[in-house]
């Protein structure tokens, strides 16, 4: 089976490497070729364009920054939908909005190309250790075909429903992630302003059942002022935007997410776009 992989950033490079370690033949494309170095040294073939990456592969993965980038590489100049064979399968693991996934499924269908939205839960370390959770939307038969590959990159893959449902589940998760980090940061920051010792505040808050368990993972960042990105803040803000955009499309209110999105947006303006999203604590805390 021949696999194409487009998008070798923090997540994609590690996911592709796990497929390679499992013995799959890979053809890879990334805007910045340098990031493909390790994969190429280990036998992957380089594609000079998205179209070349999609040519003569059975399955093509994309792991790209946002919907605009996915669309550009799929349908733009030298886009891969122009070169993929009829009956082949495109799996988009980028975090995008459900209506966008449905639109991409339609664009693929027009060319008799199969499509799954398969975003992942889990960050840099789970990507490296093949511990991701795939949330999948599309035809069950396509899911079954892709499952062995998901299992090489993740601990599990769940078929959520038709196209768009994987994307839907993913933005629900990241809405909670962004809100939890922000609410926690706001609470700890005020605690410190009230004279609560930072370590004490972290110890107690992280032990209470009202704190999301995932936040324990970010403790070292707040303690050491270490915001080297695993999950860049600009991506989290994008995900909150996708959530509010979807809420608007469906006529649903999303007041808290709209507010949270703006806080992350303000942090971006303080040069925190490429820091880990936990830097929202730094944003609230620092007075300049």
Task: Give catalytic residue positions.
Answer: 170
64 binds ligand NAP per the rule CB under 6 A = yes
Shortest spacing between CB 140 and ligand NAP, in angstroms: 24
- Single out the residue of 27, 159, 165, 235 in contact with ligand NAP (rule: CB under 6 A): 235
Task: Kindly state whether residue 154 participates in binding ligand NAP, applying the rule CB under 6 A.
Answer: no
> What minimum distance in Å lies between the beta carbon of 152 and ligand NAP?
17
Q: How many residues bind ligand NAP (CB under 6 A)?
A: 23
Of 4, 12, 98, 201, the residue at the interface with ligand NAP (CB under 6 A) is 12
By the rule CB under 6 A, 230 interacts with ligand NAP: yes
Ranked by CB distance to ligand NAP, the top (closest) residue is 9
Contact 80, 73 (CB under 8 A): yes
Asked if residue 263 lies in contact with residue 279, where contact means CB atoms within 8 angstroms, the answer is no
10 binds ligand NAP (CB under 6 A): yes
Residue whose C-alpha is closest to residue 60's, from 79, 77, 41, 76: 79
Residue 214 in contact with ligand NAP, rule: CB under 6 A: no
Work out the widest C-alpha separation in the chain, in whole angstroms.
65
Tell me which residues in 36-55 interact with ligand NAP (CB under 6 A).
none
**Strands, E, within the chain: which ranges?**
2-6, 25-29, 45-46, 59-62, 89-92, 114-117, 120-121, 132-137, 154-161
Question: Among 166, 287, 181, 196, which residue's Cα sits nearest to residue 231?
Answer: 181
Q: Shortest gap between Cβ of 189 and ligand NAP (angstroms)?
A: 24
Q: How far is Cα 261 from Cα 19, in angstroms, rounded to an integer?
A: 34
Task: Pick the closer one to ligand NAP by CB: 101 or 230.
Answer: 230
Contact 54, 80 (CB under 8 A): yes
The tokens for 2 are: 């021949």
Q: Is 4 in the site for ligand NAP (CB under 6 A)?
A: no
* Interaction site with ligand NAP (CB under 6 A): 7-12, 30-32, 35, 63-65, 69, 94-95, 120, 123-124, 230-232, 235
């Amino acid at each position: 089976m021949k696999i194409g992989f487009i998008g070798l950033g923090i997540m994609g490079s590690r996911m592709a490497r796990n497929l390679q370690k499992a013995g799959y033949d890979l053809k890879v494309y990334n805007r910045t070729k340098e990031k493909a170095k390790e994969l190429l040294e280990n036998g992957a073939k380089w594609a000079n364009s998205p179209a070349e990456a999609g040519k003569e592969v059975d399955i093509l993965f994309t792991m790209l920054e946002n919907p605009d980038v996915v669309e550009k590489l799929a349908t733009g100049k030298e886009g891969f939908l122009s070169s993929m064979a009829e009956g082949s399968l495109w799996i988009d693991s980028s975090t995008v909005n459900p209506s966008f996934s449905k639109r991409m499924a339609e664009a693929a269908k027009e060319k008799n190309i199969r499509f799954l939205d398969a975003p992942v839960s889990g960050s840099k370390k789970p990507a490296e250790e093949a511990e991701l959770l795939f949330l999948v939307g599309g035809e069950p038969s396509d899911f079954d075909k892709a499952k062995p590959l998901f299992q090489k990159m993740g601990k599990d893959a769940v078929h959520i429903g038709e196209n768009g449902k994987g994307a839907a589940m993913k933005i629900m998760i990241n809405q909670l992630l962004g809100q939890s980090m922000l609410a926690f940061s706001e609470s700890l920051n005020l605690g410190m302003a009230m004279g609560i010792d930072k370590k004490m505040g972290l110890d107690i808050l992280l032990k209470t059942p009202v704190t999301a368990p995932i936040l324990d993972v970010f403790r070292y960042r707040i303690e050491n002022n270490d915001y080297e990105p695993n999950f860049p803040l600009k991506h989290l803000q994008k995900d909150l935007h996708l959530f509010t955009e979807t809420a608007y499309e469906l006529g649903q209110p999303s007041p808290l997410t709209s507010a949270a999105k703006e806080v992350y947006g303000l942090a971006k303006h303080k040069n925190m776009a490429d820091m880990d999203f936990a830097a929202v604590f730094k944003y609230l805390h620092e007075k300049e």
